[in-house]
Amino acid sequence: MLGDVITMCRRSRPLVHCINNYVTANDCANMLLACGGSAIMADDADEVAEVTAMCSGLVINMGTPNPRKLTAMRIAGEQANALGHPVVLDPVGVGSSKMRMDAAHDLIKNVKFAVIRGNATEIATLVRGTAAHRGVDADEGAHTAPNIAKALAKETGAVVIVSGDTDIVTNGETVFGVHNGHPMMRLVTGAGCQLSALLGAYVTACPCDVLRASLAAVAAMGLCGEIAHGRLTELDGNATFRNYTIDAMMNLTPEALDKGARYERF
- Min dist. Cβ of residue 224 to a copy of itself (A): 10
Among 11, 26, 110, 253, binds a copy of itself (CB under 8 A): 26
Residue 13 CA to residue 2 CA, distance in Å, equals 17
**Listed residue (167, 181, 161) closest to 245, CA to CA:** 181
Stretch that binds a copy of itself, among 3-11, 23-31, 149-157, 166-174 (CB under 8 A): 23-31
Residue 256 as a binder of a copy of itself (CB under 8 A): the answer is no
What's the chain's Rg over C-alpha atoms? 17
CA dihedral 250, 256, 262, 266 (to 10 degrees): 90
- Min dist. Cβ of residue 2 to a copy of itself (A): 20
150 to 189: interface string for a copy of itself, x by CB under 8 A: ------------------------------------xxxx
Residue 82 as a binder of a copy of itself (CB under 8 A): the answer is no
Stretch that binds a copy of itself, among 140-148, 207-215, 244-252, 253-261 (CB under 8 A): 244-252
Among 6, 8, 43, 104, binds a copy of itself (CB under 8 A): 43
* Ramachandran angles phi, psi of 136, nearest 5°: -115, 20
Residues of this chain, 189-218, that bind a copy of itself according to CB under 8 A: 189-190
Number of residues that bind a copy of itself (CB under 8 A): 68
SS3 of residue 67 by DSSP = helix
Residue 100 as a binder of a copy of itself (CB under 8 A): the answer is yes
Residue 42 as a binder of a copy of itself (CB under 8 A): the answer is yes
Residue 203 CA to residue 200 CA, distance in Å, equals 6
Residue 90 as a binder of a copy of itself (CB under 8 A): the answer is no
Strands 115-119 and 167-170: unpaired
Strands 57-61 and 38-41: unpaired
CA dihedral 58, 61, 62, 67 (to 10 degrees): -40
Residue 51 CA to residue 178 CA, distance in Å, equals 33
Residues that bind a copy of itself (CB under 8 A): 15, 20-27, 29-30, 32-34, 38-44, 46-47, 50-51, 54-55, 63-68, 93, 96-100, 133-137, 186-190, 227, 231, 234-240, 242-251
